[in-house]
Amino acid sequence: MKYLIVAIGAGLGGSLRFWISNFIAKVLPVFFPYGTLTVNILGSVILGILIFGFEDKMNLSNSMKLFIGVGFCGGLTTFSTFSFETFNLIKNTEFLLAGINVLVNVLITLLGIYIGYLLTR
């Protein structure tokens, strides 16, 4: 049953990631992977809220924690896509953009966890 819960959450998170990435690609320039950055930030904020807020203030079941934290956030965030896009930037000699991509994804997603923490305090 746990695997089914994670699979459903991952399917929903992955579907949302696909929608957000496509939407972002239509409204922002495509030279930088803004869609991946957006979903990584969003997933980090959601995970921060789950860890610091729901855990302390709500008695979430283990199934709901698996659904949101492992499934939904795991399906929504995109480390493999982030790595692939960064590699492509390096391959295309876009070293500055690759470095910026690494820095903003790592730093801003850490900030996202912190924002989730602040929102729950």
Q: How would you label 72-103 residue by residue, b for 16+ Cβ within 10 Å and e otherwise?
A: bbbbbbbeebbeebbeebeeeebeebbeebee
* pLDDT tens for each residue of 21-44: 999 999 998 889 999 999 999 998
Q: CA-based Rg of the chain, rounded to a whole angstrom? A: 15
Which pLDDT score is estimated for 56? 64
The one-character DSSP state at 117 is H
110: CB partners within 8 A, 6+ apart: 44
Q: What's the confidence (pLDDT) of residue 76?
A: 94
Residue 95, pLDDT score: 98
The answer for residues whose C-beta is within 8 angstroms of residue 48's C-beta and 6 or more apart is: 112, 113, 114, 115, 116, 117, 119, 120
Find, among 68, 64, 20, 71, the residue nearest to 41 by Cα. 20
What integer pLDDT is reported at residue 41 of this predicted model? Answer: 92
Residue 42: the pLDDT is 93
What pLDDT shows up at residue 67?
94
- Structure-block tokens of residue 40: 């990584």
Instruction: For the chain, give the mean pLDDT.
Output: 91
Mean pLDDT by 10 residues, the chain (121 residues): 96 96 92 92 89 73 89 89 90 97 93 91 83
